[in-house]
Amino acid sequence: MNENVKQQPIRVLNLFTIMDRGGAETMVMNYYRHIDRTKIQFDFLVHREQRGAYDEEIESMGGKIYRMCPVYPQNFARYKRDLHSFFQSHPEYKIIHSHMSELGYFVFREAERQGVPVRICHAHNAPNGFDAKMIVRTYLKKRMMPYLTHLFICGEASGKWLYGEKNKSRFLMLNNAIDAVSYIYDLSKREEMRRHLGLADELVIGHVGRFNPQKNHSFLIDIFAALLKKEPNAVLLLVGGGEGMSKMQEKAQELGIAEHVRFLGVRSDVADLMQAMDVFVFPSLYEGLPVTMVEAQAAGLPCIISDKVPTECIPTEGLVDIMPLSASPEAWAEKILAKRAIPRTDRRAEIAAHGFDITTEAVKLQEFYLKAYEQNC
């Protein structure tokens, strides 16, 4: 490596569908804000023409955003041609870090052919069940394995699903770390946010997540409907966007509880909204390791999660209860009422002790990139 190259930051190409406020996207932005950008710079290859929620911030930090067509079967031939042209035009990328699970296959294959030495796949989820798409997903994830140099995971279940049990010895854990300081419970901020939301002494149930089947919003609304029968002075705050939102709005109307359910959409002030909540409820059908659960605990929020959420996301003591998805909405409602009395306290020490504080974890990722580059370039 010559002296001129040493003076430039290493540019890491991150692969995403679109840089909106999802769990993996938020996690990568947490790392991006805290790495030394004179040493490591993030760029992004995305697969939507429309701008994402984080695009402006990425550009303000010096990141570049390249756009490809969506990875749909009808686009495969065009996509492969475009990838070939991209890597021909951008030989500066020596590290690729994909957050697209098995859909990164085409990039990994082309990158290997064009001599990109560090090809990282990052497992963020652990789907269960079976549908028609799973046939294609299984095919692609098996095909991509020979092209991967590093197997990152957010939790063991996500790694086993994407890479297979036999590759467990190659797993590299990268915690879904957060800026814990920004979530510390603050009574004055809580009062301010509740005034802003028009809330007084209501019991406020919160959830943060995209409106897709994985997050199980339909069951969450059933739980809340059962809760209202026991505690009529309650409000449900739903933070997130997605195509499934309209169906959930219709369901709330059909159950006659719409006036108690707030659909807040995609927000940039999640840390503040969590101050206003009393109990965080997360009944997902499956997860990798949800960033929002770490955030909720950093805010000192009592949490109730389903038995399908990995327990690796619980760095705190006594703050999180696990409920089976087989339990009735009424049982979940009783658990919420029992959980509401837990006092809110500063949980930073526990968050940091379990590796979820970004200030220390960003240094680890930075050192990984620097070492990988030095060894391979």
> In the prediction, which pLDDT does 256 show?
97
pLDDT tens digits, 106-120: 999 999 999 999 999
> In the prediction, which pLDDT does 6 show?
54
> In the prediction, which pLDDT does 265 show?
95
Strands 40-46 and 65-67, sheet pairing:
parallel
Cα separation of the two ends of the chain = 8
User: Could you tell me which of 93, 86, 85, 107 has the C-alpha nearest to residue 15?
Assistant: 107
pLDDT tens digits, 137-184: 899 999 999 999 999 999 999 999 999 999 999 999 999 999 999 999
> In the prediction, which pLDDT does 1 show?
46
> In the prediction, which pLDDT does 345 show?
94
pTM of the shown model: 0.87
- Strand segments, DSSP code E, in 222-365 are 234-239, 261-265, 279-282, 303-306, 320-323
Paired with 265 in beta bridges are 239
> In the prediction, which pLDDT does 136 show?
87
User: Could you tell me which of 158, 204, 165 has the C-alpha nearest to residue 313?
Assistant: 158
Q: Is the dihedral of CA 152, 111, 147, 142 positive or negative?
A: positive
pLDDT value at 132 more than 80 = no
Say if CB 86 and CB 45 are below 8 A apart.
yes
> In the prediction, which pLDDT does 128 show?
76
Say if CB 315 and CB 351 are below 8 A apart.
yes
% of residues, the chain, pLDDT over 90: 93
Give the mean pLDDT of 87-92: 97
> In the prediction, which pLDDT does 7 show?
73
User: Could you tell me which of 296, 331, 308 has the C-alpha nearest to residue 223?
Assistant: 331
Instruction: Give, in degrees to the nearest 5, the angle at Cα 124 between 122 and 129.
Output: 125
User: Could you tell me which of 287, 363, 365 has the C-alpha nearest to residue 322?
Assistant: 287
Give the mean pLDDT of 119-137: 85
Q: What are phi and psi of 118, to 5 degrees?
A: -115, 115
Cβ-Cβ contacts under 8 Å for 228 (sequence gap 6 or more): 234, 257, 260
Give the mean pLDDT of 86-115: 97
Indicate the angle between helix axes 23-34 and 358-376, nearest 10 degrees: 80
> In the prediction, which pLDDT does 46 show?
98
